[in-house]
Amino acid sequence: MQVLIVEDEVRLAEALGQILSEQKYLVDIVHDGEDGYDYAASGIYDVIVLDVMLPGMDGYEIVRKLRRNKNQTPVIMLTARSATDDKVKGLDCGADDYMTKPFEPEELLARIRALTRRQGEVVLDEMTFGDLTLDLSTCDLKCAGKSIHLNFKEFEILKLLMGAQGSVITKEDIIVKVWGYDSDASDNNVEAYISFLRKKFAFLKTKASIIALRKVGYRLMEEQDQR
Q: Which residues bind Ca ion (CB under 5 A)?
A: 8, 51, 53
DSSP bridge pairs for 136: none
CB of 12 to Ca ion, least distance (A): 9
CB of 9 to Ca ion, least distance (A): 6
CB of 120 to Ca ion, least distance (A): 31
Q: What are the phi and psi torsion angles at 61 (to 5°)?
A: -65, -40
| Residue (53 or 210) nearer to Ca ion, CB | 53
CB of 94 to Ca ion, least distance (A): 19
Distances (CA, A) of 27 to 41, 100, 151: 16, 21, 19
CB of 80 to Ca ion, least distance (A): 7
Quote the CA–CA distance of 179 and 92 in Å, as a whole number: 34
| Residue (53 or 139) nearer to Ca ion, CB | 53
User: Of 142, 134, 189, which is closest to residue 158 (Cα–Cα)?
Assistant: 134
| Residue (83 or 124) nearer to Ca ion, CB | 83
- Residue number of the CB atom closest to Ca ion: 53
Strands (E), 47-190: 47-51, 75-79, 97-100, 126-129, 132-135, 140-143, 146-149, 169-170
| Residue (8 or 173) nearer to Ca ion, CB | 8
| Residue (73 or 79) nearer to Ca ion, CB | 79
Strands (E), the chain: 2-6, 26-30, 47-51, 75-79, 97-100, 126-129, 132-135, 140-143, 146-149, 169-170, 209-213, 217-221
